[in-house]
Amino acid sequence: MSESLLPRPSRRRFLSAAGAAVASAALVACTTARPPRREPLPVRPAEPPAGSYAAMYGPMVDDGHAIPGIPLNQIEERYLRQMVPDPTGEQPGTIVVDTGNHYLYLVREGGMAMRYGVGLGREGFEWAGRGEIQWKQPWPRWFPPDEMIDRQPELEKYRARQIPGTNDWEGGMEAGITNPLGARALYIFQDGKDTLYRIHGSPEWWSIGKSVSSGCVRLMNQDIIDLYDRVPEGSPVLVRSAGSPLA
C-alpha cells in the first residue's frame, strides 16, 4: 500500500460533497457526514497487542470519557483482538472486512494481520466494495440519516439542520459512551464520494459477531481505538460480501 495520504478536502468542500451524497444515496447507512471536523489523533507504530485480554479490554478513560470494561466471559475468544496469519492476500496497510466470519483484518508486513471481531449490518443494509478511509474522527457526534429517522421517529431530536447562510450544521447526538458511533469513526469513501458507511466503535459489545446494525462495521470501543491509532487517512478498505473468498 502506498502510505501517501489522499488530498484533504477543505471543510466547505467536504460538507458540500457530503450533502450531495446524502441526497443521492440509494442505500441507508448508519450516519451522515455532517459532523464538524476534529483533527485526527497521531498514528502510532503498529505493534502486536501486548498483555492479557483483561488488560486489553479493561476499563479505560479516553479524552475524558470513561469506557467500561468488556465482560470477556460473554464474548467468544475468536472475536478478541489478535495477530494472525494474513488470509487476505492484500497489501500491508489494507483494512479487509470479512463479512462472512465477522472479522476485520488490518494487513501487516511479514504475512501477518491484526484481526478484530466486528458487528455488521443486518440483511438489507449491507455494503461491500473497495474504498479508502478518507476521514478519521475521535469521539464523533452521531447524525442519523433522514431515512433512518423516517423509520424510527424517536430519533427526530437528532436530525441534522443546516444553519441558514452557513455551511455549518446543528443537531445530532453528542459524543459519549452511549453514542452509537462510539469512541472513533473511520469514514469510508469510494471514488472520491462518501459512501455514508463507517467503521466505528460501539457501546454494544454484545453485537460483535452478529449482523444487527444499519450497515456499518462496528467494533468494541477498545478495539476501534487500537485500529484508529494504527491506520492513517488514505488507507485502503475492502469489504467482502458474505461467501466471497478472502484470497
**Residue 160 sits in a domain of what CATH number?**
2.40.440.10
pLDDT of residue 146: 84
Which residue segment(s) compose the domain that 204 sits in? Answer: 11-41+60-240
The mean pLDDT of 50-69, rounded to a whole number, is 91
pLDDT of residue 41: 52
Per residue in 165-222, pLDDT (tens digit) is 887 778 888 899 999 899 999 999 999 999 888 999 999 999 999 998 766 899 999 9
Q: Work out the pLDDT band at 20, boundaries 50, 70, 90.
A: very low
Is 37 part of any domain? Answer: yes
pLDDT of residue 30: 66
Interior angle at CA 56, CA 51 and CA 60, nearest 5:
130
How many domains does the chain fold into? 1
Residue closest to 34 by CA, chosen among 51, 15, 6: 15
Is 163 part of any domain? Answer: yes
Per residue in 233-244, pLDDT (tens digit) is 999 999 998 767
Is 183 part of any domain? Answer: yes
The CA-based dihedral angle spanning residues 88, 8, 185, 179, taken in that order and rounded to the nearest 10 degrees = -170
pLDDT of residue 42: 55
Strand order in the sheet with 82-85: 82-85, 112-117, 103-107, 95-98, 236-240, 129-138, 184-190, 193-202, 217-220
Is 27 part of any domain? Answer: yes
HSE (side-chain half, CA atoms, 13 Å) at 199: 36
Percent of the chain with pLDDT strictly greater than 70: 76
Residue 50 pLDDT greater than 70, yes or no: no
Is 50 part of any domain? Answer: no
The mean pLDDT of 8-32, rounded to a whole number, is 37
Residue 31 pLDDT greater than 70, yes or no: no
Q: Work out the pLDDT band at 40, boundaries 50, 70, 90.
A: low
C-alpha cell at 46: 503498529
Average pLDDT, the chain: 81
3-state SS assignment for residue 132: strand
Percent of the chain with pLDDT strictly greater than 90: 54
Q: Which of 25-29, 150-154, 175-179 has the lowest mean pLDDT?
A: 25-29
Q: In sequence order, which residues have a C-beta less than 8 Å from that of residue 151 and are 6 or more positions away?
A: none
Is 172 part of any domain? Answer: yes
Is 5 part of any domain? Answer: no
Strands 112-117 and 82-85: antiparallel
C-alpha cell at 203: 457501546
The mean pLDDT of 129-152, rounded to a whole number, is 90
Is 6 part of any domain? Answer: no
> H or E stretch including 189?
strand 184-190
pTM of the model: 0.78
Q: Work out the pLDDT band at 72, boundaries 50, 70, 90.
A: very high
